[in-house]
Amino acid sequence: MPPVKVYIAGNDHSSGRGVGVYAEHLIASLSKLSDIKLTDKDPDIIHYPFFDLFYLTLPFKKIKPTVVTIHDLTPLVMADRYPKGIRGTIKLLLQWYSLRSVSAIITDSENSKKDIEKYFRISAHKIFVTPLAVDDDYRKDPSAANLAEVKKKFHLPDRFVLTLAAGPNPNKNLPSLAEVTDRLGIPLVIVGKGLLQEIVKPVEAELIDLVRLQVYNHVIYPGYVSNEDFNAMLYLASLYVQPSYYEGFGLPLLEAMTSGCLIASSKTSSLPEIYHDEAITFNPRKLKSMEKAIGKALKLSPSAKAKQIALAKDKAKTFSWSKTARLTLAVYQKVLT
């Protein structure tokens, strides 16, 4: 059987950011499979590795069997915090219309699959789950010199709670984490370029959390951090916390698990698909639940902490880009049968 010829369309979209990183890793992993030939000349399948709800990223006319990746539907699940407006609503309807004629939809988690079924009324038989994986940087132990350099470079304290958010998006629940860490008396480091943006009045609904964070003096904002430096931060941190109301996958949580950082996570949306069965979790809508979980994590005995980290690292090993590529190939082959 000849290799499946696949064209990954628009793979430079959002280069260096979430969906861009996904496309880069997917292409690199698919290229290692003998059953696939990546090409832009007369492909058997066209794969769009991203789908924007409010921009026309998917063509109406499909010249070949078409596969599209939808990472999450955050703005629809949390519609009250993501106002669409008239133009956004029209583009959403056009994207939905175009989505109905694709051959298959790939998504990152079972939770996102259910959301796609619910909000777009797409049959479950057309939606396939291919979990993500982490960059190899998170499997490397940073040197003592690297740790010292990162600590100095970003002015990190000896003890701190760490989290990552590209921006102050409402689903990230950052003000709640800031409130809880303030109560517990431990510094909070929030990594992400979007946290450094200037607040312009009137404040857009999606940026309200950025304003709410301004009242806290214990929060450190390093801005954008490379994989290598973030891996070092995970080694230096007392705890990584994923406080989200909603995630399509939760890649930073998997990065923390892979690197060997102690974790505490919200137990909503896709996140239970990532962490291990004995993980320390909380209800993100209840501050007392979050405070209890984080307080528990910070007070673990050395042996209990080591057990948590070992379980997390074992679970993290079940995710890999080679596995993602094989699952994606299976989708292509199903589309062509």
The number of domains in the chain is: 2
Tokens representing 57?
A: 């990223």
Range of the domain at 18: 4-133+320-336
148 and 105 assigned to the same domain: no
80 and 221 assigned to the same domain: no
Segments in the chain below pLDDT 70: 11-19
Q: Residue 18 has what pLDDT?
A: 59
Q: How do residues 236-246 score in pLDDT, each as one tens digit?
A: 999 999 999 99
Q: Residue 162 has what pLDDT?
A: 98
pTM here? 0.95
242 and 162 assigned to the same domain: yes
241 and 291 assigned to the same domain: yes
3-state secondary structure of 40: coil
98 and 156 assigned to the same domain: no
196 and 228 assigned to the same domain: yes
Domain at 252, CATH number: 3.40.50.2000
201 and 179 assigned to the same domain: yes
Tokens representing 49?
A: 């590795």
21 and 105 assigned to the same domain: yes
Q: Residue 207 has what pLDDT?
A: 86
105 and 189 assigned to the same domain: no
Q: Are the C-beta atoms of residues 57 and 51 closer than 8 Å to each other?
A: yes
129 and 159 assigned to the same domain: no
Closest CA to 19 of 192, 249, 190: 249
